Amino acid sequence: MKMLLGIMLVTLSVAYAGPEEKMKAEVHKKDENSLPFRWSKVGGAKSPALVLFLHGAGERGDDNKAQLKHGIPDLLKWLEANNESAVVIAPQCHRGVWWANLHGDFRSAKGGDLADKPSTMMSMVFEVVDRLAKEHQVDPKRIYVTGLSMGGFGSFAAVARRPGFFAAAMPVCGGGDPKTAVKMKDVPFWVFHGKSDNVVPLSASAVMVTALKKAGAKVDFKQYPGVGHDSWSATYRDPKVWKWLFEQKKR
């Protein structure tokens, strides 16, 4: 009986292993700057997809764990359940700084102004992505970005910085610079936001959706009635969201 119980406990611990056990921890250093990040290759495809996940402001720090709290567990479960192969990258932004280098009242209905150069964090994120994409021979037609809140702003900014790099983007309760929409017109977007969000108003996403549609981009906009800032839970737990993302392929 004791032996059987031990086997059951080992089986359960393997079956329910969390993202910390599944994703390798590294720190990317450049000059005096550092970027903690986690990554994992799921599946055995020779040319897997790549997903860049950008966390929110609440997960900033240097423990290289907090960024795995939202979204990542749902993504890993979906990949395994659907036998999909991908390199998943989850960097962690330091406290007091941001993914997107935006100026002005970027939470307003007018959006912000994206600086000429990316933030130090975003520059280092791209370096990590480029390295892992090369090492694992990822499919250049299936590189995606998604993120929540601060990471939603980061998702818009990442595509604006590299419009020909990403095959699709899913910003959640974020925003950006509507003047960059023309650059991003060839990238499909699925944007998510809670209608009752009092941290990042719905208008921050809406202004980007309007600008992207005007530029000719393919955009879907999911608005959650009665939902506040936490629109990421419903988004990332929906299998249809991940299915859509992995169906996108750059022409």
**Confidence band of 17 (pLDDT split at 50, 70, 90):** low
Q: Other CB atoms closer than 10 Å to residue 52's CB: what's the count? A: 28
Structural domain span for residue 212: 28-247
Torsion of CA 163, 232, 63, 90, to 10 degrees: -30
Residue 9 clears pLDDT 50, i.e. is over it: no
Q: Report if residue 10 sits inside a domain.
A: no
User: Helix axis angle, 120-135 relative to 150-161, nearest 10°?
Assistant: 70
In the chain, DSSP assigns E strands to 24-30, 33-42, 49-54, 86-91, 102-103, 113-114, 143-148, 168-172, 189-194, 219-224
What would the mean pLDDT of 138-158 be, rounded to a whole number?
A: 98
The domain total for the chain is 1
pLDDT tens for each residue of 172-185: 999 999 999 999 99
Q: Report if residue 18 sits inside a domain.
A: no
CATH number of 202's domain: 3.40.50.1820
Residue 123 clears pLDDT 90, i.e. is over it: yes
**Structure confidence at residue 21 (pLDDT):** 87
Contacts (Cβ under 8 Å, ≥6 apart) of 34? 27, 28, 62, 94
pLDDT tens for each residue of 61-118: 999 999 999 999 999 999 999 999 999 999 999 999 999 999 988 777 789 999 999 9
Q: Report if residue 23 sits inside a domain.
A: no
Percent share of the chain, pLDDT over 90: 88
Q: Is the pTM of this model over 0.75?
A: yes
Q: Report if residue 190 sits inside a domain.
A: yes
Distance CA 157, CA 84 (A): 27
Q: Report if residue 21 sits inside a domain.
A: no
Q: Report if residue 7 sits inside a domain.
A: no
Token reading at 147: 């993120």
The residue type of 18 is: G
Q: Report if residue 17 sits inside a domain.
A: no
DSSP for 135-164 reads HTT--TT-EEEEEETHHHHHHHHHHHH-TT
Distance CA 206, CA 222 (A): 10
Q: Report if residue 99 sits inside a domain.
A: yes
DSSP state of 27: E
pLDDT tens for each residue of 48-75: 999 999 999 999 999 999 999 999 999 9
